[in-house]
Structure 1
Amino acid sequence: MKTQTIESWSKAAPRLIAVAAGRAPADMVIRGGIWVNVHSRELLEGHDIAIAAGRIAYVGPDASHCIGPETEIIEAEGKYMVPGLCDGHMHIESGMLIPAEFARAVIPHGTTTMFTDPHEIANVLGLAGVRLMHDEAQMQPVNIFTQMPSCAPSAPGLETTGFEIGPEDVAEAMTWPGIIGLGEMMNFPGVIAGDAKLLAEMAATQAAGKVIGGHYASPDLGAPFHAYAAGGPADDHEGTCEADAIARVRQGMRSMLRLGSAWYDVERQITAITEKGLDPRNFILCTDDCHSGTLINDGHMNRVVRHAIACGCDPLVALQMATINTATHFGLERELGSIAPGRRADVILTSDLRDLPIEVVIARGKVAARDGQILVDCPHLDWPEAARQSVHLGRTLAARDFEIPAPQGANHVRAKVIGVVENQAPTKALSADLPVSEGLVEATGEICQIALVERHRGTGAVTNAFVQGFGYTGNMAMASTVAHDSHHMIVVGTSRADMALAANRLAEVGGGVTLWRDGQELALVELPIAGLMSDDLAQTVAAKAQALGVAMQDCGCSLNNAYMQHSLLALVVIPELRISDKGLVDVRTFEVVDLIEEVLE
């Protein structure tokens, strides 16, 4: 593995001092720009930036004393000089891309730092998978810090994962060079109950002097929330309303406001700043989950910043929330997140602070992208065969595997139904009266069948239930091996025969997402690495993902980024109702519940 490291500040200091003093030439000088100072929240016109050894040596009104015969000059021509953008919480796997291709996709959008939690691959491949993600991240020309996953499984006893993570794994990972902290502590009931294993993981993180990520996915801001905050999580991205944001910062946590492909939680929370006047330095912008289509077509952190501004946030405040606030939270304020001496030379040039067109991206002192075109190499790891062979069904599935037997003699039943909520991660616990035909409960109207197919140990097990909200019509099925967080296989459909075809197809290709209608495959996104990611080019994966989205619409689905909704239906730590290999889970009580509520006359 070849890492792309940057010389430490202490080693670079003699040269930085010499350049700033005019005794030595800079490697690069950006001349004549508007300095966006996120420390003082000022716009300072007519400033220059001198760069040496990948770091900023000087920022001031005239860097001519830093220029030598070999110094590269970039004329800013009155453009804004903005710190490279930081994503405070994200999952690379959600982009369907390996770290290298994710970096290639987001660098042209101005993202130069990412704080990533690879808990998706941890559920499939364990600590070895986390190490693969960490190692490829270290190879990239931008800053990708890894948070050691904390919860695999996310809810012990309610799901079965491919591997489990424990305190000993966390302690080992804390010694790796790119580990910045502990990933989101999703098992908030376990923390509230004082679970010894979770407390040991958090203790190992604190002993290493690193940050514990939070995930409190409950609307209850009473005693349970306070108990969770007492456990040690330093941030949280699961807020969905203003009260959530305010509660978190009042308890000393950073409130992370997310805009992903399907999670639109910024607008309802940013009023804590824009209307209530809370200190914005305790708020951070993030994406959490962005698929490849969003990255290629809409952007990454630049999209989030633009959205925050459109929601009424001052542009400089929004930029602080995507730069210095994030760096400070992770203890890296002296290393990145601003344009100031000693910091990594991560700089964006843009002509408009509101629309934020990313015209030039400089990462670690090198021009990394210009006008949307990447100019640096993003090297791949040699992914082992074990990472490419992760879908084990144990047998070929048939339509009968997706049958839901009715109680003896029933003609109608009342059944629990998972209700999808557009643009939000939580679901609704619904009920519906469903007919029985030839002894089987049938989905009708807007209700589809949903199944979770075990894919880690080849048990051949299938859990069946019902879901509402996708709007599918006709005979169809969609299957995905991206099934947060246990990452078995989720199949949603109106036809049991198509559900079987879709599931078997993913076993054949080694994982991904496929959509079938009337016995024919309409779309396929191959994700051969852990059934979660592709090592193909981001543009290729995005094109396939876009074709999948079109096919979903052709089958009647009108939800925004419905694939993301599909992929979270097994996430048993977010209310209200989810599916797992253990059965149907009521996340309000953290119990496996019966699908059939009662037999009707």
Structure 2
Amino acid sequence: MDSAELTELIRVARGLSPANAWIRNAAVLNVYTGEVSEAHVVVSGKRIAYVGDRDPMVDERTVVLDAAGQTLVPGYFEPHAHSCLMYNPQTFAAYSVARGTTAVLQDNMPFFLNLEQTEMERVFEVLSRLPVKSYWWCRLDPQMGNSDEMKKFTPDRIRRTMDHPSVLQAGELTGWKMLFDLDPGMVERVAIARASGKRIETHNPGASIHTLNVMAAGGATACHESISAEDVWARVRLGYYAALRHSSIRPDLPHLIRGLLDTGFTAWDRLMFTTDGASPFFLSAGTLDLCVSIAIEQGLPPAAAYRMASLNPAIYYGLDADLGGIAPGRIADILFLEDLRHPTPRRVMVDGHIVAEDGQLTVPQPSVDWAALGVRSLAVTDRAVKPDWFDVQAGPDGNVPVIELRNAVITRLVEEPLPVQDGRVVLADCPGCLYAAVIDRMGAWGTTAVLRGFGDFDAVASSHALTGDFVVVGRNQTEMARALQRVIEIGGGICLRNQGDCVFEMAMPMFQTMSLEPMDALMDAARRFDEQMRAFGYAHEDPVYTLLFLSATHLPAVRLTERGLYEVKTDRVLAPARSLS
């Protein structure tokens, strides 16, 4: 605020100037004390000037909102979003704000890897004009074993990104083992993040107390990877905040809340909620409003659930003087609920103005010219895709590497004899086994293996891979080539083929991972893809994430990478990538 705004805020609080908005007769949740009481909420500009029983000064410009029979709660704060999973930051923001999420902290990875620093900062600036308050985290590693991508994470660029006012934390540290093993580059980057005075989030699923201690000593202040109540206890005991996740690959929230309640947990002020980049079909049930609802259904007192969705993340990121509560001086991000048992808002106020009613935006969203920001389809090969790109070779001992899916993203490796003809694996008589490949975006190399547990169909090709390359899976190599060729033609996306037909297609021209379509269209498309994959035998949580993470070297146990078939724990290449030139 400048001095003029501050002066007016104080005048409205004193009743000396007319309010911009007056919310009357509402029941107001005080997230600081847990009380609910009837009060007037008076707004000056975009901030709350007064909460109490006194009528404000009004004039003909004052917007008077009678909220009798409704309950007011603060806007929700999403502390860990990947707003680049089919949807893009604009479409995610439009959907989220209509369901009550008024602040979002999101991943900068696709913009960091594909744009220059000034271009990325321009994206931050443009997205700050959306109804949702857009904040960012700064990646310190590329989440993949790619040496060229690692070169982009220079100390100077990390320092400049961490200094940006929209950046609230470093992380998530998917490359946490680099810090654990005292890799000099990672130690320097974490030291820069610590010197910025901002938060550091780590990524430690299944970590031991010893590992969590080391990460906390290194500067980690939060982790969203708890999959049991014991995991939450371990993190909070070491001073972490823990974001409880409810996402399409880890819908953990119900059993986490039940487990914490059963074990007598009381440190709810150290916890937050997150949807952690859920697929569009999963978000159709809600975002943080769904998390609040689940927590209450599992027995958490409503006041604690609403604090986890609003005040706790605001405190964690040092923003509670502005966000997280309905109190004087705070920004007027206010949700109008039927009651505390119904967290999806009937009406949403952002910066003192109503922006959504009954799940729909009521104000036009600022347009984003993504192409002008440099966000477009990436350069790809212009070569014709060949079926033999997907050949899998048997090993010298006659065994074939088979990747087995243990869940949507965790794999294990088995080696077994499979039918081989002229040195090439033939899967015609191997039910449940598919060819799997990661193909270089420019067509220079490919890494292949056999994949089991993904279903039984002819071909799916996707450009939505962590490495920015293509992932292709199927039992028919000719159809696999056609599917990949189609993905290239549409500028990136997903193509699913079976029995000679394209049974699903989605274009994602923004860095080959994001669509321009609105969220309702994406939800419908993602649901159709999920249903089609399940009809083909996919039995895990989320097929999009399986494709996304086949090349992710931060997860066990084996991955398809530019180096070849890679065993994460041992850092070994089990079978090299081969040239496609």
Q: TM-score range by the shorter chain?
A: over 0.9
SS at match of 1:581: coil
Report the equivalent of 1:431: 414
Report the equivalent of 1:42: 35
SS at match of 1:165: coil
Amino acid of the structure 2 residue aligned with 1:532 = T
Once the two structures are superposed, the pairs formed by residues 273-284 of structure 1 within 5 Å of their partners are 273-276=260-263, 277-284=265-272
Aligned pair 1:56/2:48, yes or no? yes
Once the two structures are superposed, the pairs formed by residues 115-514 of structure 1 within 5 Å of their partners are 115-125=105-115, 127=117, 130-152=120-142, 154-156=143-145, 161=149, 164-217=152-205, 219-271=206-258, 273-276=260-263, 277-295=265-283, 297-384=284-371, 386-393=374-381, 395-407=383-395, 410=398, 413=399, 415-422=401-408, 425=409, 427-431=410-414, 433-438=416-421, 439-443=423-427, 444-455=430-441, 458-470=442-454, 472-474=455-457, 476-484=458-466, 486-514=467-495
Distance 1:175 1:383, change over 3 A: same
Report the equivalent of 2:516: 535
Report the equivalent of 2:69: 78
Mapped partners of 2:27, 2:453: distance in 1: 48
Distance 1:568 1:136, change over 3 A: farther
Stretches of structure 2 that go unaligned for 5 or more consecutive residues are none
Amino acid of the structure 2 residue aligned with 1:468 = R
- Residues 185, 213 of structure 1: 8 Å contact kept: yes
Query: 1:27 is matched with which residue: 16, 20, 23?
Result: 20
Task: Give the superposition deviation at 1:162.
Answer: 9.2
Mapped partners of 2:71, 2:168: distance in 1: 30
Distance 1:33 1:186, change over 3 A: same
Distance 1:468 1:358, change over 3 A: farther
Task: Give the superposition deviation at 1:303.
Answer: 1.5
Distance 1:79 1:121, change over 3 A: same
SS at match of 2:419: strand
- Residues 126, 164 of structure 1: 8 Å contact kept: no
Amino acid of the structure 1 residue aligned with 2:459 = A
SS at match of 1:93: coil
SS at match of 2:456: coil
Amino acid of the structure 1 residue aligned with 2:431 = G
Task: Give the superposition deviation at 1:132.
Answer: 4.9
Mapped partners of 2:78, 2:486: distance in 1: 35
SS at match of 1:313: coil
**Equivalent pairs: percent with the same residue?**
26
Amino acid of the structure 2 residue aligned with 1:106 = S
Mapped partners of 2:384, 2:479: distance in 1: 13
Task: Give the superposition deviation at 1:265.
Answer: 2.5
Mapped partners of 1:547, 1:454: distance in 2: 28
Mapped partners of 1:151, 1:407: distance in 2: 33
Task: Give the superposition deviation at 1:9.
Answer: 7.6
Deviation per residue, 1:22-53 (Å, 9 max, x gap): 11111111111111111112222x21211111
Task: Give the superposition deviation at 1:163.
Answer: 7.0
SS at match of 1:466: strand
- Residues 393, 459 of structure 1: 8 Å contact kept: yes
Report the equivalent of 1:3: none
Mapped partners of 2:3, 2:223: distance in 1: 33
Task: Give the superposition deviation at 1:556.
Answer: 3.1
Report the equivalent of 1:12: 5
Amino acid of the structure 2 residue aligned with 1:419 = L
Give the TM-score normalised by structure 1. 0.89
SS at match of 1:387: coil
Mapped partners of 1:98, 1:227: distance in 2: 35
Deviation per residue, 1:381-403 (Å, 9 max, x gap): 32237532314135222111101
Mapped partners of 2:104, 2:481: distance in 1: 38
- Residues 123, 163 of structure 1: 8 Å contact kept: no
Amino acid of the structure 2 residue aligned with 1:176 = H
Give the TM-score normalised by structure 2. 0.92
Amino acid of the structure 2 residue aligned with 1:258 = R
Distance 1:156 1:577, change over 3 A: closer
- Residues 456, 474 of structure 2: 8 Å contact kept: no
Mapped partners of 1:418, 1:59: distance in 2: 58
- The count of aligned residue pairs is 572
Stretches of structure 1 that go unaligned for 5 or more consecutive residues are 1-7, 597-601
Distance 1:547 1:253, change over 3 A: same
Amino acid of the structure 2 residue aligned with 1:428 = T
Mapped partners of 2:483, 2:514: distance in 1: 18
Distance 1:231 1:409, change over 3 A: closer
Distance 1:321 1:282, change over 3 A: same
Amino acid of the structure 2 residue aligned with 1:79 = Q
Distance 1:595 1:243, change over 3 A: farther
Mapped partners of 1:545, 1:191: distance in 2: 36
Most deviating of 580-589 and 84-93: 580-589
Amino acid of the structure 2 residue aligned with 1:47 = A
Mapped partners of 2:167, 2:188: distance in 1: 17
Distance 1:591 1:90, change over 3 A: farther
Mapped partners of 2:255, 2:275: distance in 1: 15
Amino acid of the structure 2 residue aligned with 1:450 = A
- Residues 244, 269 of structure 1: 8 Å contact kept: no
SS at match of 1:269: helix
Amino acid of the structure 1 residue aligned with 2:232 = A
Aligned pair 1:593/2:556, yes or no? no
- Residues 418, 578 of structure 1: 8 Å contact kept: no
Mapped partners of 1:573, 1:16: distance in 2: 49
